[in-house]
């Protein structure tokens, strides 16, 4: 059998190299290897070996091939090329290349502590003839192979490479395999889901920056409500507006600005984002409605005590806001996810403005994400602006939750993986969701890009983390780079993850189940996996959503 070759069908720039390659391929054995046209770059120069021959238990030979007429005279080596005489130095060329390849192999971590095996070099002149007694100090005759020796080239190489060991051991079969692996390089890579995700994120960022042009419209308006569905860029727009108002622009003086929301998770994200800005561009306050009151002395409360949040706290904050001095008040207040605010919350917000008649109030909302049993509207008229483009979710995800959106939206999020549905009984849904997480990690999704969200009972990991940490500490795990995030749709409004496994672990449709499904499905920007009972999901989301999920 012929020798193995890499590549299997190499391309050559001239017939001489092909002639020598074929002679070696057909004359050597199947344990031998011939590598053609090996290119290597080191810190000194670019190298190219016409042929590298690896023979187990014999040695390694790096060969330089020169076709046409080649001769040696008092001025050195000469060759005719295109009818012209040119000076060459094939011996120095092949010797330098040999050392470069040998060094490259030795430095590779895969070579490890193996012995320094025998490397030799030689030249092949398939069209020229040299006398048997021709010899140079740097090139013994047996290291030169001419036209008359082409029929026995493989045998000559075996015989004379043995003589080039120079005290080094010949390579074993394993050595040859390792050298071939090293010289072939780490070429094989795999499809990277994270790279695709990075590209989509960059495009979404570009589209969001384009959408910031809407702030041009609001510069002369002091009371505005920006409405938009999930993925429309409301939160990014709210932050951009906060920065612009804080630093002042186009002749407007810098303002004292507050940015409010309800969710602890969203507040954590907002604060982290603002912390990356120049200090002169940061709003005076960023946080939850509760934190807004705590700065004036409002007390802590039990988060499951509805009466405290709906009645007691707003009343206390209303009194505290009424006693604020001008320096403590704000020129403008921005409220993100404003549909979460109850009627009683708006009074202290308005009293915190320096000018409750003309002070800036900018509200960002999505009525279809109203997943809490409370209702409220700002007590002042607002100019409505509508965002009707989904910039963040892939077209596949947008198509899946589109029937749940507040109004028709146009997808600009780009293509991505198909939305996946995993059927599971309510009592088995968490286990099925855990299996889905394992599968995603095996697909090489990075843990920090993956979240498991439930619509019913919290996942045991979330329970454990909230027990171990404070609420603020739990939300810090959102930023962990070595673990999946476990949460509930109620706490993740305004946030997004590249991959979301939405576990619908409920046995029937409940109050505001449709809104929960909408929030949960729209948290994924790149890949959405929905786990749950087909009948429950159809009851929650309707026939259109069920059909788009393949139910």
Secondary structure of 297-345 as H, E, C letters: CCCCCCCCCHHHHHHHHHHHHHHHHHCCCHHHCECEEEECCHHHCCHHH
Q: Output the pLDDT for position 143.
A: 93
Q: What is the 3-state secondary structure (H, E, C) of 180-212?
A: HHHHHCCCCCCCCHHHHHHHHHHHHHHHHHHHC
Q: What single string gives the DSSP state of each residue in 140-168?
A: -GGGEE-GGGGGGHHHHHHHHHHTT-TTP
Q: What is the pLDDT along the chain (551 residues), one digit of tens a residue?
A: 799 999 988 989 889 999 999 999 999 999 999 999 999 988 888 999 999 999 999 999 999 999 999 999 999 999 988 788 999 999 999 999 999 999 999 998 888 777 778 899 999 999 999 999 999 999 999 999 999 999 999 999 988 876 666 668 889 999 999 999 999 876 556 667 777 777 777 766 776 666 667 777 777 788 999 988 888 888 988 998 999 999 987 667 899 999 999 989 999 999 999 999 999 999 999 999 999 999 999 988 776 777 887 888 999 999 999 999 999 999 999 999 998 898 899 999 999 999 877 889 999 988 777 656 567 788 899 999 888 888 889 999 999 998 988 777 888 888 999 999 999 999 999 999 999 999 999 999 999 999 999 999 999 999 999 888 888 889 888 988 889 999 999 999 889 999 999 999 999 988 889 999 999 999 999 999 999 999 999 999 999 999 999 99
| Bridge partners of residue 452, in order along the sequence | 486, 501
Rounded Cα–Cα distance for residues 421 and 541 (Å): 14
Q: How many Å apart are CA 294 and CA 299, to the nearest integer?
A: 6
CB atoms within 10 A of CB 422: 16
**b (16+ CB within 10 A) / e for 508-522:** ebeebbbbbbbbbbb
CB 515 within 8 A of CB 541: no
User: Pairing between strand 144-145 and 119-124?
Assistant: parallel
pLDDT of residue 165: 61
Angle between helices 313-322 and 343-351 (to 10 degrees): 20
3-state secondary structure of 462: helix
Burial class (CB in 10 A: 0-12, 13-18, 19+), 447: middle
Task: Give start and end residues of each alpha helix (H) in 248-298.
Answer: 264-275, 289-294
Q: According to the model, what pLDDT value does residue 362 have?
A: 95
- The answer to whether 313 touches 346, Cβ cutoff 8 Å, is no
What domains can you pick out in the chain, each with its CATH number? Answer: 4-184 (3.40.1350), 219-378 (3.40.50.300), 410-549 (3.40.50.300)
Q: What is the DSSP string of 216-254?
A: HHHTT-SEEEEEE-TTS-HHHHHHHHHHHHHH--TTPPP
Q: What is the pLDDT of residue 202?
A: 74
Q: What is the pTM of this model?
A: 0.66
Give the whole-angstrom CA distance, residue 43 versus residue 165: 27
The residues, any chain, with a CB within 8 Å of residue 463's CB and separated by 6 or more, are none
Q: In Å, how far are 1, 96, 246, 248, 390 from 237, measured between CA atoms?
A: 69, 61, 14, 16, 13
């Amino acid at each position: 059998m012929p020798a193995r070759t890499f590549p299997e069908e190499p391309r050559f720039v001239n017939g001489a190299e092909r002639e020598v390659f074929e002679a070696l391929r057909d004359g050597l054995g199947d344990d031998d290897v011939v590598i053609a046209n090996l290119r290597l770059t080191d810190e000194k120069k670019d190298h190219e070996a016409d042929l590298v021959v690896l023979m187990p238990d014999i040695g390694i030979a790096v060969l330089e091939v020169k076709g046409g007429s080649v001769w040696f005279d008092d001025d050195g080596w000469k060759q005719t090329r295109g009818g012209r005489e040119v000076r060459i130095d094939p011996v120095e060329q092949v010797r330098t290349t040999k050392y470069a390849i040998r060094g490259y192999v030795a430095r590779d971590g895969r070579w490890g502590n193996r012995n320094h095996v025998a490397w030799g070099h030689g030249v092949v002149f398939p069209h020229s003839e040299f006398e048997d007694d021709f010899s140079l100090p740097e090139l013994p005759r047996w290291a030169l192979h001419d036209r008359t020796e082409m029929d026995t080239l493989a045998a000559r190489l075996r015989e004379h490479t043995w003589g080039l060991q120079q005290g080094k051991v010949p390579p074993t079969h394993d050595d040859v395999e390792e050298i071939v692996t090293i010289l072939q390089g780490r070429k094989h890579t795999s499809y990277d889901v994270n790279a695709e995700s990075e590209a989509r994120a960059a495009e979404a960022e570009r589209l969001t920056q384009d959408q910031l042009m809407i702030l041009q419209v609001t510069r002369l308006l002091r009371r505005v409500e920006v409405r938009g569905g999930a993925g429309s860029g409301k939160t990014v727009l709210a932050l951009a507006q906060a920065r612009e108002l804080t630093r002042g622009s186009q002749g407007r003086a810098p303002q004292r600005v507050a940015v409010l929301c309800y969710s602890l998770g969203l507040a954590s994200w907002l604060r982290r984002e603002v912390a990356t800005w120049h200090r002169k561009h940061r709003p005076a306050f960023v946080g939850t409605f509760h934190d807004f009151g705590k700065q004036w002395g409002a007390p802590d409360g039990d988060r499951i005590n509805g009466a405290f949040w709906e009645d007691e706290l707003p009343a206390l904050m209303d009194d505290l806001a009424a006693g604020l001095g001008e320096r403590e008040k704000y020129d403008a207040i921005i409220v993100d996810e404003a549909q979460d605010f109850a009627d009683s919350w708006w009074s202290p917000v308005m009293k915190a403005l320096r000018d409750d008649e003309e002070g800036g109030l900018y509200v960002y909302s999505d009525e279809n994400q109203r997943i809490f049993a409370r209702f409220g509207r700002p007590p002042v008229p607002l100019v409505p602006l509508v965002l009707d483009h989904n910039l963040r979710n892939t077209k596949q995800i947008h198509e899946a939750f589109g029937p749940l959106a507040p109004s028709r939206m146009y997808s600009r999020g780009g293509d991505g993986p198909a939305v996946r549905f995993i059927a599971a009984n309510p009592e088995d849904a968490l286990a099925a969701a855990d299996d889905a997480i394992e599968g995603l990690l095996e697909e090489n999704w990075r843990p920090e890009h993956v979240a498991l969200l439930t619509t019913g009972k919290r996942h045991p990991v979330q329970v454990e983390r909230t027990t171990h940490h404070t609420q603020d500490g739990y939300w810090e795990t959102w930023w962990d780079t070595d673990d999946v995030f476990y949460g509930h749709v109620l706490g993740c409004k305004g946030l997004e993850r590249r991959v979301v496994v939405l576990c619908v672990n409920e046995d029937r449709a409940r109050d505001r189940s449709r809104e929960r499904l909408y929030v949960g499905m729209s948290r994924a920007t790149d890949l959405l996996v929905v786990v749950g009972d087909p009948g429950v999901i159809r009851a929650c989301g309707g026939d259109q959503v069920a059909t788009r999920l393949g139910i």
